[in-house]
Every structure is written in structure tokens, then in C-alpha cells.
Structure 1
């Protein structure tokens, strides 16, 4: 096929044709022309060999990356640097579509991603107590979250109301993502204005725990060259079975599309989210086990807040059929803050009224964060013939300027002490449980906190210039090679301020990073490929923005009063797998085996010799299988499972060698099924399983008791069942029922390394959604 193989711009004649075809949507008939125009042209060429237009007996999907007629299956990545369909891409990319997310009933990214295989959650630090903190294939990924291919550096609360699909790339990914991404990356593809069809969707959800959620998604084609789209959100709920803890969300996403000529198009977006919670941290560990029946001990003054604003400009220009430029520019800000209550079991002093007894004492944990960032990414796509072979070349330049200022609050507890800890005779602490074993009256207002925002203590800044080149070439009609090389050069500064004396210290340095990616695919038969891939990643001294000089959590390593001359942490991944696109490309089956090795790991603080700067090394090996799409014309699936082993290979602490990594589950899996029982009714459910894991510091062994031979910060395994059903009253009106955690399983998501945070998963909840399209 001559012409461009990347995503093409849409000529006016095609835009008009697509609008005419979309007019049949009121009869329940959808066409795939608009989706084809957004695919990589390699995929379009394959479609064109079969038919110019496919007609599907289903509603139009506004997601341009979707597989027509298969709501859980994406055909292509939302990152246009992946020029081939997902079924031909030589690495593991798990894609969750909006339809799959809606059916699951989950809305926050933390809960959506927790259900996915190979991902565990960690407890957050400083800028966000819960942090959207993910661990992918055993490697820290809290700073490896992207939106439309650009890094989203804030430790913010993230919502799904403006997401078209969510992509989880497994394995080191620095060629695409830059620094970090040692275990993978998460890329949210947002909803954007489309010139192909008018649509509007309104949803209202009510349910148990005073749940209320209202969303709107409206797209208007003003003319052949101009379209606008608006998304809105209002949501609030009590945390299931943990009231008075609550969550509240307000959001807006606005997008405008403009194409004044056939060669040029522009999309301008705004995204805003206001999130405010009274957060419940759940339980804590007692003698190495989760404490049971711990009441909600949130205080009235507690809060967890995120205030996010981002502005994005996307510009595309086609110079010729074989050369085009895609430009992406973003400015964003995020203000995060929290003051939360932690609890722990304590045996109170002998002088307590009623004698010695075990109780729950409360403490405060808090911090704030101000994030400001600018990014520009330029991608030049060039199709050319070199040495008799057709090459799909991508030349990229990227500049990012990220700044994160962290600080603390002044928190004063003005409430009266009600118990004694220690051996004194004077009330000196706050206890939630009395000597009779009953909750004390007014337990959620014991501390009566006075909260004042204090000054900053760390100011983290990094400016990075990146250049990369990627190439995809068909060596034969069966053998395809992808290769990529990326160079990053950065200037880093961490300013530290004593919040009492206001004395400051500055720790600047600069460095360069090289990373590469090589993938090979071989077509074994119709719709099936085998692939092998190698990729590298690198992270820097001080790569995590929210932890200051806590080097064991990714903060800056300081030595003799200066920033240490540490080498970058290095990760390498080898993966072999196969993908099988079956049933006329409506079901994608995947399987892979992999090994990720991370070396030169900076393990912790208190370094005293240069030789301990890069003292750690670990390895993760495993396999993953998946199935996404239509099993039959009535049964749809999104499923995946992974099994992994981790091992610390080297450490400054010899006892760590041979141990398992912290925050690492050997096995995990999910199966979500949807069955179309009648033309109007579908039913479904999801089962998710997470194996046992242990809390602790990232990139090193979980805490271990040499005497008992056991890890000391356990998070038990769990299995959770969710059910859903939907009934279409008429072509425009649908009712959906979701029951999450049907068996009311008591389960936990993550544990703080000290054991006194044990984040609890949501109890059983029921939600009824009214969905109206017009």
C-alpha cells in the first residue's frame, strides 16, 4: 500500500462520508470507517483488502482505537508511536477499554489497576498518603503514569471519567517513556472531540453508602472542520462499611477539534479534577497478622485532596503522503495534601483505670505537594524505502520541565487525652477502645485537630531533553523488526529547607541516559505471531519526586553533604511470547515468558562508603497469559493471569540476598465475562485474585525475621467476586446494576513498611446506573 502507514489526517470528503454513515446510529447500526481512519495505515491496509466499509450490528464506539463491534477489545494503541495493531506489537500491552471499565463498576485508577495481573499496590509517601502508587512486575511505577504519552508527575488521585482506554505496558519501557519505567508504564488515553458524529451520553448512579455519581459526555460536530466535546463529573460516597470516611469528586474535560485544511488538524484540551476525601486507612498489623474488626477511626478534620488542572494542545500536519508531524504540548498543575489518622495496637500503662488492657492509639500522618510541569513532544513520521525495504521511521524530540514542591502541615491536637501509655500516671494519649473493650464515645472527634499549612521542605526539579529514533520494517512477508534508541540528558536539583530554621541546601547534578528496544515478530499463520523482545530502562539518583532524601524510596542519595556520584539504576528485560488473533479478529489470545533484571539499585539511606551507592540487584521471572474480546457472538471476556518469582541477587545487607521483593505478589489474575442473554439483557461478573505479598521498601527484600524464618509485613491473599447486569429499555435508555465484593470479603490492598497502615479494600456495595444516549 502506497502512502502513509501511520494514523492519517482526515480529508474533508472522508469526514463528510463518515458523518453520513453515522446518521444511521439511531437505527442501531454502526460503521467502522471512522475507526479505520484513526488506525495505523498498516491496519487500514489489511481492512481494505477485505472491505472498504464494515457494518456492525452494534452502537458506534466513539473510541477511535476500538475493534468495531467488540466492546472489550482495542485494535490499536492510543500512542501513535506503536504503528502496528496490538496483535502485531512485540511486547505485552494490556488494554482496558471504556466499556470494560464501565461494566466493572470501578472508577478510580487505583481500584481499576489493582484488579489487573502483575500489578500490586504500595502505600504512598508524603505528597499523597495513598498515592496512585503501583508496582509492575515487582518494580516501582508510581512516577511512570502517563496521559496520552506524556508523563503525569503528580502523586494525584486519578479518575476514569475522561478516559477512553487505559494501556498497561509491561517490562522496561524507557525508549518510549524516558527515565524510570523499569517494570512498565501506565498510559491513559483521554476522550477527545471527534468530527465524525454527534452523540451525548448522560449517566446517573445511586447506591448503597449514599453513593451518587453523575457524568455527561457530549460531542457536537459544528461543521466539517470543527467539533467540540465536553465531559463532566460529580460523585460522592461513603467508603463502604467505613463511614464516616467518604470520597468526593468533581471533574470537567473539554476538547475542541479544528481542521482548517486537509493537511492540518488541531485538538485543544482542558482537564480538571477536584477530589476531596475523608480517608480511612483501614487496619494495621498485630503480631504479624491483620487486626480484625477495627472500626473506622477517621477524625472529622482528616482530609486527602487533589486539585488538578492540565491544558494540552495536539497539532498534526501532513507534508506528503509519507511524511507527517505530530506535536503534543502540555502544561499542568496538581496541588495535593493530606492529614490522616493512623492506628496501632498498644498495651496501655499499668495506671490506666481498670488496669492494663490492649487498645488502639491514634497518630497523625500528613504532607502537601505542589506540582507544576511543562512538556513538549515532537514526532516526525517518515515512510521511506531504504535498501529495497519499506521503513516506518519515527524521529522524536521531547522537552520536559517538572517541578514538585513538598511540605508539611502544622497539626495540633486540642482534644483531651483519654488513656495512659507507658508507665506514667498522667493521661498522655488518645485511645479508641476503652478498658471494657468497647469503643469510646465520639471516637471520630477525639483529636480535635487544628491544621495550618506549613512551609516547604523539599523542592524537586528536573529538566530533560530527549531524542529518539524508532523504525519498523518488514524484512519478509512474515518477519518484522522493530528497533528504537533513546537519549535523555537532564539537569536535576533538589533544594532542601529546614522548616524550623529555614536553612537551605541545594543538591544539583546532570547526567545522560541511553536506552534501547529491539523486537522481532514472525507470522506463524493466519492471525498468529511469535515474538521476542529486549528492552532497557534507567532511573536516576533522586528519581522519585515526593520523598526528598529518603533514598530507599527513590529519593536523593547524599554523601558527605553533597549529592552522591551514584550511577543510574539499570533494568533489562527479555520477553518471548505469542499472540493469536482469532474469530475474525474479535478475540486476542496472548502468552509470554519474561525476565526483568534491575542492577545498580540504590537501596537505602545512611550510606557511608562510595561502594554502597549502587549496592542492590534483583530479578523477576514469570509468565503471563491473557484473552480479550468475543468468545462467541454472545460472550465477551477480558482475562489475564500471571505467575512470577522474585529474588534479591545482591544487597548491602547480606541477609537480604535470596529473599523475595517487597510489595510483590507471585500470582494474580482476573476474569471478567459479559453474556448477552437476550437482545436487551446482558449479565456478567468478574473474579479477581491477588496472592500473598509483603510490605517494605521498594526494590529490596521484604522485612524478614531470621529467628522465626518468616516475612513480617504480610498482606493476605484475597479473591473478590463482582457481578453486574444491564437491561436496555429502548435504543436510548439502559439500566445497569453492579454489586461489588458480593461475598463481603475483608481484604487488604497494601501495607506500610512499619505495619501500622493496612489499606482495606471496599466492602460489599450495590450501584444502580441509568444510562441515556441521545
Structure 2
């Protein structure tokens, strides 16, 4: 329930009806008149309330599925409003691109004159208001069609899904979403958010409101409206990379209705204290402000010593000085600090991490007097959107960002000093890992959405240009050794500790300091100039063809501060996509798609190893890796069109892949990833919601510098994964409103993950080369592998008052020991996933 506290401008309902749409004129005009009369009455009533003592008007969000007037679709939502089968149609872009108009925010706007239902003031404007697990359209105006009519697999996690998953960070989304595998800072890259989508590294394919967010970071979700995971190559939409897909974070923007949301979460097993505040104020019909705040302090369930502190603020201002002009300013600041957890050692003999039967799962191998981690992120975006007329909308965005990664951590590596007559080591080598990295971004995007009609075919074209400057400065720390380490002996930055009782409290008389050697200070700069054209042709909503082409002029330089080493590379990359959608029914679509993408050298800005995507000043410069993808699929809106089901077959072929052998990097490898992707999202009934998927993949190396690699699968990815989040409203079963009690849960499965280098799963590790003690039962060839796992979560949520909701939840219900990611070296280690996490949450909304 929400209070309407600000007058609604008549301009929200003003529409122009072109003469050429004669087939829709009568119904649209009638509905337009009705909407205008309704808005006049509302405006008059609200105007009187300013000078009288009348109480504020309160509007309840609907509990039942709305009855529909429009015959084209039984659900009167802007993203779903479709023309009659034989009438020409334009897309429903409106003002969706990054700066939603105040008239269309909150899901209030109707498309083509279709009446809108009233939704909660804080509802996701892109989602089905009746089924918030189901998102109908993407936020970017590059995607002019609803998801149903978009020829690619897209997973969208709305804020309701994020809440029910307890997904406080982007990493938790990767941990609990099928088809996504977590990675580590392997290959000289920073530790932070690293994801594999459909088997491809996507750590620099993360976007915020459609603008690339380069450089690894650790991203919070308190300012997030929804997370969009686009699967498959998308260079025509996003630029370089995006071989397996891209992740777009959509931020919360100011709305035209007042509300306040306050959440307080207490954690029993990880001692979490988390507070978030979301306040929106419609100051006038042309000005709205929204502010989000965060305080978070916790440990990590199942791990000793590890701490995680975060705070942040995000603000959005939407100003609409003219009917056709919307200005949006947005700023986000996030600060994170704590003791890092870089993982546990891997047992090369037993072929599993040491917590599997040898050590305790909570054993932490860090050094409490030395280690720390700090992540900072500040970015601001200004968006101007001008609607010249009904058929032309101009949008311009400008982003400036600065992010800092600052840490010293401990890597638990090789075992040593084996126990008598066993292959179990008594000690472990702890290595120092450090980084100080600053990432700066300037990005400008300008594009036009143009609609036109040719005979029975309606078109919408997106024409745009982008200019970006990305820079990374990185170095590391000195002074990582201890002056007082007792019987332990450092070798460089390494110290030998007990495997069972680590050197947690080893004293350090001097603090680590940033390396003063200027030859160790690396500066990487990327300048990109891009132009793109995306066009969608719609024949009477029966056949929809989509195509796009993009050219990127990519120039990268890498040097030390003293110019002692220097390297540069320039690439001109042209990529495209083609898609065809056939709609045998208004609620169903069958599609086929083809797309390309390119990975130029140095595209992973934070990396130093050429075979992992970095630009190494001493390495050979290679042409871009080229990716080609094919996909066929079916999308169907079921259960009164409140649940979207997707089934797709896909294959991506890669050529020019970089690999390393005996210290030599080459770029002639090729491989493929293919599989099936099944997903659902939405409502099965009015009371039963579900979102999840099953992804089965096969990968194989087709050619390699090392002939024995041919036929092997890729490393560091789960080839089978499953996730399903579901909840049911039980309130009416006990004589109360349906939403008084909701009970739900989540099941997650991830298959085993093989370690290896950046390309090949390591299936032949000779353990005799490790210097292990001789034994008759030594296995000569042992593949490094993380075991498969199931994880189960549960939650119960009750609306205990008009404005208060209580929620109890448990993540990892059975306290399974499982692992996030593999760091494959000569002495590998793995990162631990959290143990059982128990939360009690109070939500206040008014």
C-alpha cells in the first residue's frame, strides 16, 4: 500500500496519434479520452487536498490478476501491449533507455493507449506487475522488443528475486544462477568478481546501465533494480569481448511516487548486521529524487577470522523541464573493507581440497597482522533523453568512474614435510599476494531510436556512437615478510606454517607499503571509438527480424611509469548479429540467431598474462580472438502469460585462442562450447512463483599448439548446472490475505569443475614432479578437480502489519562444504563458499 503524495501532471497521459495508424485510432482515442478524464479528476482531487484537510489518497496494489480491455494481450502492461495481429506496430521503447520518464516509471504507463494497472510505488518498472519474478523487457533502449520477441537467451533477476535469494552481492548471483561459474584472480588478474558465462571468461563484460564497468571489483546490490544476464556473443550491442555473454546491472532510478523502504537484517551464523534504506520523493510533477543507503558488517559463515564491512550511498535525480526532455543524474559510492579469504590448499594426492577429510572447513590461512582488503567504487552518470516526436528519441549518456582495489592476502599453496608413512603434509607454504590498482573510466554514448513504416512492416532502428577512455594503474606491495616469525622461515614472500594450526598471529613489526619501484608501476590505457546500427523489422507481429552491426576502433597501450617497457596494439573490429523470430501465437516465439564477437589483446585490463587476456609488455602482440555463435530457441508465455519459459540450443566456436606452453604464448588454438539452456521465470498460479534453469554444456579443444590437448574439455567451468527458486503464498489457507505468509526455497546444483590453464582442463598431472615421498600407491596422473555439490535454501516471509514484513531465511540449509572457484598453478588452491547462513529480516515500507 502506498500513498500518492504528489500531483500527477497531465503530460503523463498526453499522446499524439499519427494519421497513418487508422486501424488503431478508434480504440486508442477512446482509451486516451478515458485516461485524460481520469487524470483530470485525480489532479483536481489532489489539488484540493493541498488547501484542505482531506486525508491523502491511498491506492492498494492489486492482489488478483487484472481484467483486461485490450484484446491483443490479457495483461495491460506497457511492455506487453501489442498491436492487433494485422496492424502495423512500432516497438515500445518510450523513454526506457537509462533515463525513464517520470510518466512511465513505476509501471504506470500504458503502451498504445492500453490502460495501466496500479502497482506498488517501489515496483520494478520492467517487470510484470502481477508476477515480479518475470521481467518483460530490458532496460537498455538498444533492445526495442520485449524479451519474448528478442532472439537470444536472457536471464533477468529482478529485485524481488535478489531479495529472495539473499543475493547481497553480484558474486552470490553467480553462485546461485545456472550457466554461470565463479572464477578467481588467475593469470595475474585481480581477485574480485570473475564470472564464466557459457564457458567464457566475462570478468570485463560487466556493465552498469549499459556502460562497461572494466577492471575487477566486488559489486554490491543495494542500488540494483535488476541484473540482466545476456547469454551468447553480444559485441554488436556491447563492444569487445562478450564471447559467452554479458552482465548488465540496472540501477534504481527516481520515480514519480513517494515511498520509503527500510530493511534490517541480522545474521546468526555470520553475525551480519545489514541496514538498507531506499527513499523516493516526487518533489513536483517534473522533479523526483531517490536515495539508497547501505550499512553492512559481517563475518563469513563457516570461515574463521574473515570479516566483511561495507557502506555506500546511491542517489538519482530525474528532472523533466519539458514534456519531451528528461534529464537524469545518478551517483553511486561503495566502500568495502575486511580480512580477505583467498582460499585453502589443494591436496594433489587425494585429488580434492584439504577440507575434504583432512582439515577443518573453517581453517583460515591468512595472516591477521598483515592481510587486508579495500575496494572502493565511485561512478556518476548523466543522461539526457529528448523525444523529438513520436518516432524519434535521442539519448545521450556520460559516465565518469573511479575504482580502487587495494589488498594484501595469503595464498595457501604447496604442502611440505609429509607425515611419516603418509602422503599427508604436515605444513603448507603461505604466499603473499598483493595489489594496488586504480581504474578510471570516461564513457560517452549517444544514440537515436528511429521508428518508421514500410507497407505492412514497422521498423525501429537504433543508431549510435560511443567514445570511451579506460585506464588502469597497478602495482603491488613490498614489506610482506615478517621480522619476527619464530621457527617459521620466509622464502621471499612465503612462510611455512602448520597445515592444521596456521600462522594466523604471526607478528609483523612493519606494515606493508606500496612498491616504490617505478618500473613495477604499470599503466594501461584503452581508447575506443565505436559506431553501431541495430534494426528490427516487425511484420504484423508475426515475423520479426533483427540485425545489428558494430565497428570498434580499439587502441591499447601498456607501459611502466619510467617507460622502461612499452607495448601497444590497435585493432579494428567489425561484429554483427542476425536474428529471426516467428510468432505462431501472440504468446509464443520461435527464433534462430547468429552472432559474432572479438576479444582483442589486452581486453582484460587488470591482467598481466597475455594468455589470460592481458597486454604483457614483453609478450608478442596477437590479433583479436574471434567468436561465432549459433542459437535456436523457443519462448512461450504460459499460465495466462505470467510465466516465460525458454528452451535453446547453442554453439559457440572460437578461433585464434591464446594459450601458453613451456613459457611460449601462441594464438592458434580453437575450441567450441555447445549445449542446451532451459529456463522459466514468473507465476505458475496467482500464489506460486518460480525462476530457474538447467544448463548442460559440452566443450572441446579442436586445435592446439600441444597436440595432446586436442579433444580435451575446457578448464574452470561447470558443464552441468541447475538452479530453481520458488515460493508459494499460504496466507489464505489460514483465513488471512494470501500474501500474509509466503514460504519458499531454492535448490542449486553444480557439477564438478576441472582445473587447468586458461584453456585446457588439466587431465594429466604427474604427481612425481611435485617432489612427493615415494610410495607404492602414488598415482602418476591426477586431474585437479572440484567436487560437484547440491545446495538448498529456505525462507518464510510474513506481512505482520500494514507496513511491516518479517522474513526468516537459511542459505545452505544442510551446511554443505563446497567451493567457489579453482586457482590452478603448480600448487593450486581453492576458494571456499559460505557455510550455513541464518538470517532474520524486518522490512518496513510506507
Same fold (TM > 0.5): yes
Cα separation, 2, equivalents of 1:557 and 1:412: 25
Cα separation, 2, equivalents of 1:588 and 1:524: 16
8 A Cα contact 2:78 2:92, kept in partner: no
Cα separation, 1, equivalents of 2:42 and 2:560: 57
Deviations 1:644-677 (A, max 9, x none): 0000111111121110101121100101011111
**Do the aligned partners of residues 127 and 315 (structure 1) sit closer, same or farther apart at CA in structure 2, a change above 3 Å counting?**
farther
Cα separation, 1, equivalents of 2:747 and 2:380: 37
8 A Cα contact 1:662 1:698, kept in partner: yes
Deviations 1:107-159 (A, max 9, x none): 11011122111111111158875320111111111000000111001211101
**Do the aligned partners of residues 562 and 590 (structure 1) sit closer, same or farther apart at CA in structure 2, a change above 3 Å counting?**
closer
8 A Cα contact 1:316 1:325, kept in partner: yes
TM-score, scaled to structure 1: 0.90
Cα separation, 2, equivalents of 1:19 and 1:753: 64
Q: How does 1:353-432 map to 2 (within 5 A)?
A: 358-386=426-454, 389-419=457-487, 430-432=495-497
Q: How does 1:308-707 map to 2 (within 5 A)?
A: 308-348=377-417, 358-386=426-454, 389-419=457-487, 430-433=495-498, 439=501, 443-445=504-506, 450-455=511-516, 456-496=520-560, 504-548=564-608, 550-556=609-615, 563-564=620-621, 566-604=622-660, 613-678=666-731, 679=738, 680-702=740-762, 704-705=764-765
Aligned counterpart in structure 2 of residue 225 of structure 1, from 268, 278, 286: 286
Cα separation, 2, equivalents of 1:706 and 1:605: 16
- Deviation of 1:543 (Å): 1.3
Cα separation, 2, equivalents of 1:371 and 1:493: 15
Partner of 2:818: 747
Cα separation, 2, equivalents of 1:529 and 1:407: 51
Cα separation, 2, equivalents of 1:419 and 1:271: 48
Q: How does 1:136-147 map to 2 (within 5 A)?
A: 136-147=197-208
8 A Cα contact 1:432 1:443, kept in partner: no
Aligned counterpart in structure 2 of residue 164 of structure 1, from 225, 228, 233: 225
- The question of 1:726 aligning with 2:789 is answered no
Cα separation, 2, equivalents of 1:700 and 1:2: 59
Unpaired segments ≥5 residues, structure 2 = 1-15, 22-31, 47-55, 69-74, 82-89, 95-108, 732-737, 768-778
Aligned counterpart in structure 2 of residue 738 of structure 1, from 801, 809, 812: 809
Partner of 1:54: 117
Cα separation, 2, equivalents of 1:562 and 1:504: 14
> Any idea what SS the aligned residue of 1:602 has?
strand
8 A Cα contact 1:361 1:432, kept in partner: yes
8 A Cα contact 2:76 2:115, kept in partner: no
- Deviation of 1:345 (Å): 4.9
Cα separation, 2, equivalents of 1:345 and 1:367: 22
Aligned counterpart in structure 1 of residue 366 of structure 2, from 284, 288, 298: 298
- Deviation of 1:66 (Å): 1.1
Partner of 1:173: 234
Cα separation, 1, equivalents of 2:682 and 2:162: 14
**Do the aligned partners of residues 156 and 26 (structure 1) sit closer, same or farther apart at CA in structure 2, a change above 3 Å counting?**
same
- The question of 1:273 aligning with 2:334 is answered yes
Partner of 2:135: 74
- The question of 1:63 aligning with 2:116 is answered no
Deviations 1:268-291 (A, max 9, x none): 000110011211223221122110
**Do the aligned partners of residues 528 and 278 (structure 1) sit closer, same or farther apart at CA in structure 2, a change above 3 Å counting?**
same
Partner of 1:761: 833
**Do the aligned partners of residues 414 and 590 (structure 1) sit closer, same or farther apart at CA in structure 2, a change above 3 Å counting?**
same
Greater mean alpha carbon deviation, residues 442-451 or residues 317-326: 442-451
Unpaired segments ≥5 residues, structure 1 = none
- The question of 1:289 aligning with 2:352 is answered yes
> Any idea what SS the aligned residue of 1:284 has?
strand
- Deviation of 1:243 (Å): 2.5
Cα separation, 1, equivalents of 2:828 and 2:508: 18
- Deviation of 1:503 (Å): 5.9
**Do the aligned partners of residues 321 and 604 (structure 1) sit closer, same or farther apart at CA in structure 2, a change above 3 Å counting?**
same
**Do the aligned partners of residues 266 and 711 (structure 1) sit closer, same or farther apart at CA in structure 2, a change above 3 Å counting?**
farther
Cα separation, 2, equivalents of 1:133 and 1:731: 41
**Do the aligned partners of residues 349 and 635 (structure 1) sit closer, same or farther apart at CA in structure 2, a change above 3 Å counting?**
closer
> Any idea what SS the aligned residue of 2:512 has?
strand
Cα separation, 1, equivalents of 2:322 and 2:823: 55
**Do the aligned partners of residues 25 and 73 (structure 1) sit closer, same or farther apart at CA in structure 2, a change above 3 Å counting?**
farther
**Do the aligned partners of residues 242 and 649 (structure 1) sit closer, same or farther apart at CA in structure 2, a change above 3 Å counting?**
same
**Do the aligned partners of residues 427 and 711 (structure 1) sit closer, same or farther apart at CA in structure 2, a change above 3 Å counting?**
closer
8 A Cα contact 2:458 2:537, kept in partner: yes
Greater mean alpha carbon deviation, residues 750-759 or residues 356-365: 356-365
> Any idea what SS the aligned residue of 1:87 has?
helix
- Deviation of 1:704 (Å): 2.9
Cα separation, 1, equivalents of 2:757 and 2:234: 22
> Any idea what SS the aligned residue of 2:162 has?
helix
> Any idea what SS the aligned residue of 2:743 has?
strand
- Deviation of 1:362 (Å): 1.9
Cα separation, 1, equivalents of 2:784 and 2:493: 28
8 A Cα contact 2:722 2:750, kept in partner: yes
Cα separation, 2, equivalents of 1:220 and 1:127: 46
8 A Cα contact 1:73 1:628, kept in partner: yes
8 A Cα contact 2:601 2:613, kept in partner: yes
- Deviation of 1:36 (Å): 4.9
8 A Cα contact 1:139 1:698, kept in partner: no
Deviations 1:206-243 (A, max 9, x none): 11222100000000000000000000001010111212
**Do the aligned partners of residues 654 and 738 (structure 1) sit closer, same or farther apart at CA in structure 2, a change above 3 Å counting?**
same
8 A Cα contact 1:126 1:366, kept in partner: no
Cα separation, 1, equivalents of 2:782 and 2:610: 23
**Do the aligned partners of residues 136 and 24 (structure 1) sit closer, same or farther apart at CA in structure 2, a change above 3 Å counting?**
farther
Partner of 2:783: 712
**Do the aligned partners of residues 2 and 154 (structure 1) sit closer, same or farther apart at CA in structure 2, a change above 3 Å counting?**
farther
Cα separation, 2, equivalents of 1:44 and 1:589: 23
8 A Cα contact 1:496 1:505, kept in partner: yes
Greater mean alpha carbon deviation, residues 335-344 or residues 393-402: 335-344
**Do the aligned partners of residues 709 and 389 (structure 1) sit closer, same or farther apart at CA in structure 2, a change above 3 Å counting?**
farther
User: What is the CA RMSD across the aligned residues, in angstroms?
Assistant: 3.2
8 A Cα contact 1:494 1:506, kept in partner: yes
